[in-house]
């Protein structure tokens, strides 16, 4: 009998197929003692396994490219963490086998992370994945992860580690559903990058039996278990209609009455550029440069290496606009050489611009590299700082840009409620704003973006978040400056209309979402978008806001 479950839709499209579960079984090796004279050999075995797993993760990264590559490389570094390796050695020295030593050392590290605060929930999934890989290698059993199947399937997992998401074959994996994760978690961002329909934060998805047919709607977040023939037909035709509508609309982003809203792409490096170009991105609205820094957590990449990566992206958009975000280290993207190790709550600590102002040499090198990369190119370079809290932050960033002789527009991300509340004051120092709705939601609702349990509060339809967007856009309009959105909110087609109605001037998103947003925007006038925005802001919950906007835009 058909049943309906509802999670959070994070990547558009419809997938209908049989369920396959991710191999997440935790391999617990037996706790047997080894004689002292075997310790050295066991330690060698453990190290070899760590190196092999790290090399495998790097190789998977090379294959995947783009943002996924950097995430995988960060995981490889996790595996080679010197303190973890030292702990494994210690455990083996007092009688553990290699596999048990690894298992216990990771468990201790995991507990440490968990006690450091919930912010690390996303990284715990990555850590468990690394441990499972090393233990599986030591035990000589198959790696946990994406199931082997020749037939296309819908993948269900508790959470997806970046290593797995990166290797999902879109021709076999029709879609995926996770129990954990929020709309701005790694899995969600990577799913959109892959263009695979996905639903996250669906507790109980793990109980759907292997082989059951499900229909997943990545736009609404609905999962139909054992869908009826009528439901399947209805979803298939809705999906075909959506696809046809998508290819029918091309060109620059605009409402049906010609109000232009440039549609830009979020990229993590040159590897993401082809998809952005194919989707018709009018430029880049967010270049997350921290992915270039994840290769080596001990030092920043050389100026030369940075020039090369920046130039590759800038060259791809002649006459286009490319907004580069300077390094956003800390919290969910810690870097050893920048991020203090002992912060009780890193999301509220020295991250983003704060950490760059503490390390002016790193900021200077990055700005100089950007300046050199843009030399002689006909691109409109814009550079922005993450985590700007107030006018002093904005001034410090603009001063650093001027000192580096950068010929570009300087801007500030609005990710902290104080920046939205005092946007006009920040705009006295910089030329544009870009709303990072992922962090803005996290800080507005005190809801960690990695934690599935609080995904209700991470919903960008929350009217309080819309109010902050409106405040920022109004401030920019009053100052005659631009205010874009580069958080995941921009990738929701309906919400994109509401953001337009709130006065946002450009929308930046993962490339796969661009056609959906373009097609939806083209169906409505600016006045309709404005009415939808007012209706959404008048609501008291995210769900009501969504329904109210939908009612206005569908002409009900
Ligand atoms: C775009 C944003 O930055 P990131 O997701 O990289 O933190 C955001 O916070 O909305
Ligand atoms: Mg952010």
Asked if the model's pLDDT at residue 282 lies above 70, the reply is yes
- What is the pLDDT, as a whole number, of residue 512? 84
pTM attached to this predicted model: 0.69
Strand, helix or coil at 516? helix
Q: Is 510 in the pocket of ligand 1 (CB under 6 A)?
A: no
Residue 333 alpha carbon to ligand 2 centre in Å: 10
Is it the case that residue 194 has pLDDT exceeding 70?
yes
Kindly give the distance from the C-alpha atom of residue 85 to the centroid of ligand 1, in angstroms, as a whole number: 32
Helix axes of 39-64 and 121-139: crossing angle, nearest 10 degrees: 120
Ligand 1: atom nearest CA of 489 is 10
Beta carbons within 8 Å of 287's beta carbon, 6+ residues apart: 267, 268, 269, 310, 313, 322, 323, 324, 325
**Is 486 marked active-site?**
yes
- In this prediction, residue 9 carries a pLDDT of 87
d(CA 175, CA 197): 5
Residues 46, 101 contacting (CB under 8 angstroms): yes
Whole-number pLDDT of residue 245: 72
Note the pLDDT of residue 370: 97
Q: Give the residue, out of 186, 328, 347, with the most ligand 1 atoms within 8 A of its beta carbon, to mutate for a pocket test.
A: 328
pLDDT digits (tens, 9 = 90+) for 501-522: 999 999 999 998 899 899 999 9
182 vs 191: CA distance, rounded Å = 12
Q: Is 439 in the pocket of ligand 1 (CB under 6 A)?
A: yes
The yes-or-no verdict on residue 412 having pLDDT over 90 is yes
Q: Tens of pLDDT along 107-148? A: 888 877 766 654 455 577 788 888 988 998 888 776 677 776
Please provide the distance, in angstroms rounded to a whole number, between the alpha carbons at the two ends of the chain: 32
Question: Residue 172: enclosing H or E segment and its boundaries?
Answer: none
Name the residue of 291, 386, 435, 506 to mutate for ligand 1: max ligand atoms within 8 A of Cβ.
Answer: 386
pLDDT at site 438: 94
For the chain, percent of residues with pLDDT exceeding 90: 57
Comparing 163 with 195, the larger pLDDT belongs to 195
**Per-residue pLDDT at 437 exceeds 90:** yes
67 in contact with ligand 1, CB cutoff 6 A = no
Cα–ligand 1 centroid distance for 384 (angstroms): 12
Say if ligand 1 is within 6 A of residue 455 CB. Answer: no
In percent, the amount of the chain with pLDDT more than 70 equals 95
Higher pLDDT, 202 or 145: 202
Quote ipTM for the complex. Answer: 0.99
Average pLDDT rounded to a whole number, residues 241-262: 87
């Amino acid at each position: 009998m058909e049943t309906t479950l509802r999670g959070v839709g994070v990547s558009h499209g419809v997938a209908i197929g049989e369920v396959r579960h991710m191999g997440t079984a935790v391999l617990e090796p037996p706790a047997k003692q080894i004689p002292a004279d075997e310790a050295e050999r066991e330690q060698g075995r453990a190290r070899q396994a760590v190196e092999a797993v790290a090399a495998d993760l790097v190789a998977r990264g090379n294959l995947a490219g783009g943002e996924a590559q950097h995430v995988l490389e960060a995981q490889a570094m996790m595996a080679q963490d010197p303190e973890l390796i030292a702990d494994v050695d210690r455990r083996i020295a007092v009688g553990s086998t290699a596999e048990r030593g690894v298992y216990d050392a990771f468990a201790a590290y995991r507990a440490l992370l968990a006690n450091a605060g919930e912010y690390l929930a996303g990284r715990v999934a990555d850590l468990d994945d690394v441990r499972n890989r090393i233990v599986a290698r030591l035990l000589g059993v198959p790696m946990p992860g994406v199931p082997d199947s020749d037939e296309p399937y819908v993948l269900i997992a508790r959470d997806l580690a970046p290593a797995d998401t990166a290797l999902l074959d879109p021709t076999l994996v029709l879609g995926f559903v996770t129990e954990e994760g929020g709309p701005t978690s790694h899995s969600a961002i990577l799913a959109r990058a892959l263009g695979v329909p996905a639903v996250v934060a669906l507790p109980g998805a793990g109980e759907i039996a292997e082989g059951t047919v499900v229909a997943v709607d990545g736009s609404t977040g609905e999962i139909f278990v054992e869908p009826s023939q009528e439901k399947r037909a209805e979803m298939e035709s809705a999906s075909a209609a959506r696809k046809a509508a998508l290819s029918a609309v091309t060109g620059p982003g605009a409402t049906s009455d010609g109000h232009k809203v440039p549609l830009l792409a979020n990229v993590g490096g040159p590897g993401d550029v082809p998809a952005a170009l194919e989707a018709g991105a009018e430029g880049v609205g967010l270049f997350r440069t921290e992915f270039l820094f994840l290769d080596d957590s001990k030092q920043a990449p050389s100026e030369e290496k940075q020039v090369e990566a920046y130039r590759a992206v800038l060259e791809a958009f002649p006459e286009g606009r490319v907004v580069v975000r300077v390094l956003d280290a800390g919290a969910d993207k810690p870097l050893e050489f920048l991020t203090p190790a002992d912060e009780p709550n890193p999301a509220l600590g020295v991250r983003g611009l704060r950490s760059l102002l503490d390390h002016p040499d790193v900021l200077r090198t990055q700005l100089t590299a950007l300046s050199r990369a843009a030399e002689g190119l006909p691109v409109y370079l814009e550079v922005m700082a993450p985590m700007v809290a107030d006018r002093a932050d904005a001034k410090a960033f603009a001063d650093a840009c001027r000192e580096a002789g950068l010929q570009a527009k300087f801007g500030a991300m609005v990710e902290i409620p104080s920046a939205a509340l005092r946007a006009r004051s920040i705009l006295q120092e910089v030329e544009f704003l870009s709303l990072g709705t992922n962090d803005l939601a996290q800080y507005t609702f005190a809801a960690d973006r990695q934690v599935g349990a609080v995904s209700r509060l991470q919903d960008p339809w929350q009217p309080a978040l819309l109010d902050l967007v409106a405040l920022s856009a109004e401030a920019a309009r009053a100052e005659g400056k631009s205010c874009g959105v580069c958080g995941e909110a921009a990738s929701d087609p309906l919400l994109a209309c509401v953001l337009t109605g709130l006065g946002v001037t450009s929308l930046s998103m993962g490339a796969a979402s661009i056609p959906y947003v373009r097609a939806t925007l083209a169906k409505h006038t600016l006045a309709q978008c404005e009415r939808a925005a007012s209706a959404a802001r008048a609501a008291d919950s995210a769900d009501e806001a969504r329904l109210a906007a939908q009612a206005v835009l569908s002409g009900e």
